[in-house]
Amino acid sequence: MTKTADHDAAVLYGYFRSSAAYRVRIALNLKGVVVAQRYVHLRDGEQNLEAYRWINPAGSVPFWREGDFDLAQSLAIIEYLDETHPEPPLLPRDPRARAIVREMAYAVACDIHPLGNLRILKRLTELGIDEIERARWSKQWIEQGFVAIEARLSQTPGPFAYGDQPTLADLCIVPQVFNARRFDADLAPFERIRQIEAEAMKLDAFVAAEPGRQPDAE
Amino acid sequence: MTKTADHDAAVLYGYFRSSAAYRVRIALNLKGVVVAQRYVHLRDGEQNLEAYRWINPAGSVPFWREGDFDLAQSLAIIEYLDETHPEPPLLPRDPRARAIVREMAYAVACDIHPLGNLRILKRLTELGIDEIERARWSKQWIEQGFVAIEARLSQTPGPFAYGDQPTLADLCIVPQVFNARRFDADLAPFERIRQIEAEAMKLDAFVAAEPGRQPDAE
C-alpha cells in the first residue's frame, strides 16, 4: 500500500449509528489507515456538551482532527483520505465514470441522508408529527432516492456500484441500506443495491465498520 | 483558456430558481463553456411530465445530457466540468485546502439545501404544517448551516471562501444566500458570507447566472 501521508495524530469523532461516520469508517478500513476514534452519543445529546462544542463548534459527526487541521463533512473527509492515501482509489480514473460514482454518492448524501437525520426527526416531533408519520417520512425519501440510484445502477458494471472494486458510491450506499432496514423501507425492488450490500459484506473493511461492531454500540 | 473537452452536444436542464442549477450555471460561466440550456418549470410540475421523465427518470434538475452520457447531481456535474475543463480550477491544489473547500460546499449541499427543497416543503404542507412554520423551517436550517460555514470562513483567506478566486464553495454559498433572502433569513451575523456574495457580484460569471436573469424567470 502506498502511504503518502501519516495521520498519527489524527482522531475521528463518530457515533456508531451515524451513517455519515459509517462511510468514513469504511474508507479508513479500505485504505488501511488506523486513527484514534472517539465517540459522541448523539441520541444522548453529547454533541451539545461544551466539551465537544469546544472541539467542533458545529457539533456534528463525523469530525476529523489532526493537529491544528480539522474537517467536518463525511465526503470531504473521505476525499481528503483518498487524495492523501491514493491506494486503493475510491474513484475511477475516467472523468465520466468518476462523475457517475459521484452522482450516486450525492444521491445518498444530498437527497436521502439529510432528510432522515436525528435533528430533522426531532424537529418533526416538535411540529407535532407523530411516530408513524415520521417513519413514513424517512421511508419515503429512502425509497424515492433508491429508485434514482437503482436506475443508474442498471447502466453500470457490477458487482459494486461501479465495477469490481468499492468506490465512494458504495461507501454511501451500504450505510444507507443499513438505515433503510431500520426504517423498514422496502428493499425488494432494488436488486442491484442489495447485490452491492451482499458484495460489501464479503469484505472485512465493510464488516468491521458496521454500527453494531463499534465500541459505542448499544 | 485550456479546453480539454468539447461539450458541443451538451444540454443542461435547469430551472431559474433551483439553487443547484444556479451552481452549475456559475461553473459554466467561469469556465467559459457554452451549452444549450433547457428549462423545466418545477413549480408547475414539469419535472413530472412524461416528456421530461423520459429524459431524466428521476425528474430532478440540474441534469446534464451529452450524447449518450447523462448526469444528475449539481456537484457531480461541476466536478465533471472541473476535470474536463481545468481552467480556472474550482478547487485549490493543496489537499487540506481542497478538503476545506469541499467541507463548505457540502455544508450547503448536504446540510442546508436538501431541507428547503420544493418537494420537502410540499410534503410538509401535506403533513399539515402551515406556511409560517414552513418558512421558519427553511430559515432555521439556513441560519444553522451558515453558522458552521461562517465559523470555518473565520479561518480561511478571503475575499472568496478560500482565497482570491471563486471555488466550489462559493458556487454553493452564493445561490444559498439568494435562497436565504427569499426565506427572510437573518444574514447580519454572517459577515464573511455577505462579503463573498458582494465579491461574487463583481464577476459577470455570477451575475449572469442569477435566477432573475434566466430566460425562464418569472
For residues A197 and A133, state if they share a domain. Answer: yes
Provide the grid cell at B60: 430532478
Query: Residue A82: its pLDDT value, please?
Result: 98
CATH classification at residue A104: 1.20.1050.10
Edge-to-edge strand list for the sheet holding B10-14: B36-39, B10-14, B63-66, B69-72
Provide the grid cell at A147: 429508485
Query: Residue A58: its pLDDT value, please?
Result: 87
Share of chain B above pLDDT 70, in %: 96
pLDDT band, residue B106 (cuts 50/70/90): very high
Residues A176 and A19 sit within 8 Å (Cβ to Cβ): yes
Query: Residue B4: its pLDDT value, please?
Result: 46
Q: Out of A103, A129, A137, whose CB is closest to B73? A: A103
Final residue before a domain boundary, out of B58, B88, B118: B88
Give the residue carrying C-alpha cell 461544551. A50
Domain range enclosing B110: 95-206
pLDDT band, residue A87 (cuts 50/70/90): very high
For residues A135 and A178, state if they share a domain. Answer: yes
- Please report residues of B whose CB lies closer than 8 A to that of A71: 99-100, 103
**CA–CA distance, A206 with A203 (Å, rounded to integer):** 6
Q: Out of A84, A99, A120, whose CB is closest to B79? A: A99
**CA–CA distance, B139 with B156 (Å, rounded to integer):** 25
For residues B133 and B79, state if they share a domain. Answer: no
For residues B185 and B153, state if they share a domain. Answer: yes
pLDDT band, residue A6 (cuts 50/70/90): low
For residues A79 and A182, state if they share a domain. Answer: no
Q: Is A47 part of a structural domain of the chain?
A: yes
Please provide the average confidence, as pLDDT, over all residues in chain B: 94
Q: Out of B58, B77, B79, whose CB is closest to A151? A: B58
**Is the per-residue pLDDT at A4 higher than 90?**
no
C-alpha distances (whole Å) from B49 to each of A111, B29, B41, B171 are 21, 29, 10, 29
Give the residue carrying C-alpha cell 410538509. B124
Mean pLDDT over B170-196 rounds to 96
Q: At what angle do helices A131-153 and A191-200 cross, to 10 degrees?
A: 90
For residues A80 and A168, state if they share a domain. Answer: no
Q: Is B58 part of a structural domain of the chain?
A: yes
**CA–CA distance, B97 with B156 (Å, rounded to integer):** 9
Q: Is A119 part of a structural domain of the chain?
A: yes
Number of domains in chain A: 2
Give start and end residues of each alpha helix (H) in A32-167. 50-55, 74-84, 95-109, 118-126, 131-153
Q: At A216, is the secondary structure helix, strand, or coil?
A: coil
For residues A111 and A155, state if they share a domain. Answer: yes
User: Given an 8 Å threshold on Cβ–Cβ distance, is B79 in contact with A102?
Assistant: yes
For residues A142 and A59, state if they share a domain. Answer: no
**Is the per-residue pLDDT at A2 higher than 90?**
no
Looking at residue A114, what DSSP letter applies?
A: G
Please provide the average confidence, as pLDDT, over all residues in chain A: 94
**CA–CA distance, B203 with B201 (Å, rounded to integer):** 5
Residue of A nearest to B70 (CA): A100
pLDDT digits (tens, 9 = 90+) for B45-63: 898 899 999 899 888 999 9
Mean pLDDT over B180-184 rounds to 93
Q: Is B214 part of a structural domain of the chain?
A: no
Q: Exposed e or buried b for every residue in A109-130, given b needs 16+ CB within 10 A?
A: bbbbbbbbbebbbebbeebebe
Provide the grid cell at A65: 482532527
Q: Say yes or no: B60 contacts chain A, CB-CB below 8 A.
A: yes
For residues A39 and A129, state if they share a domain. Answer: no
**Is the per-residue pLDDT at A191 higher than 50?**
yes
Mean pLDDT over A204-212 rounds to 98
**Is the per-residue pLDDT at B157 higher than 90?**
yes
How many Cα neighbours within 13 Å face the side chain of B107? 31
> Does the complex come out with an ipTM higher than 0.85?
yes
Q: Is A5 part of a structural domain of the chain?
A: no
Query: Residue A5: its pLDDT value, please?
Result: 54
Closest CA to A159 of A133, A189, A129, A193: A193
Give the residue carrying C-alpha cell 464553495. B169
Residues A135 and A204 sit within 8 Å (Cβ to Cβ): no
**CA–CA distance, A14 with A215 (Å, rounded to integer):** 11
First to last CA, chain A: 34
Closest CA to A27 of A166, A156, A180: A166
- Please report residues of A whose CB lies closer than 8 A to that of B100: 71, 76
Residues A75 and B168 sit within 8 Å (Cβ to Cβ): no
Work out whether the CA dihedral A136, A138, A141, A147 comes out positive or negative: negative
Final residue before a domain boundary, out of B54, B88, B122: B88
pLDDT digits (tens, 9 = 90+) for B12-34: 999 999 999 999 999 999 999 99
Shortest distance between the Cα of B72 and any Cα of chain A, in A, equals 6
> Where does residue A71 fall: left (phi above 0), alpha (psi -120 to 50 degrees), or beta otherwise?
beta
User: Given an 8 Å threshold on Cβ–Cβ distance, is B103 in contact with A71?
Assistant: yes
pLDDT digits (tens, 9 = 90+) for A144-177: 999 999 999 999 999 999 999 999 999 999 999 9
Share of chain A above pLDDT 70, in %: 96
pLDDT digits (tens, 9 = 90+) for B144-155: 999 999 999 999
Query: Residue B43: its pLDDT value, please?
Result: 87
Query: Residue B9: its pLDDT value, please?
Result: 81
**Is the per-residue pLDDT at A110 higher than 60?**
yes
Q: Is B192 part of a structural domain of the chain?
A: yes
Mean pLDDT over A87-102 rounds to 98
For residues B73 and B126, state if they share a domain. Answer: no
pLDDT digits (tens, 9 = 90+) for A29-83: 999 999 999 999 988 889 889 999 989 988 899 999 999 999 999 999 999 999 9
For residues A105 and A84, state if they share a domain. Answer: no
Q: Is A1 part of a structural domain of the chain?
A: no
Work out whether the CA dihedral A7, A8, A13, A18 comes out positive or negative: positive
Residue of B nearest to A120 (CA): B115
Q: Say yes or no: B76 contacts chain A, CB-CB below 8 A.
A: yes
Q: Is A215 part of a structural domain of the chain?
A: no
CATH classification at residue A40: 3.40.30.10
**Is the per-residue pLDDT at A1 higher than 80?**
no
Q: At A172, is the secondary structure helix, strand, or coil?
A: helix
Residues A196 and A174 sit within 8 Å (Cβ to Cβ): yes
Final residue before a domain boundary, out of A35, A53, A88: A88
For residues A74 and A112, state if they share a domain. Answer: no
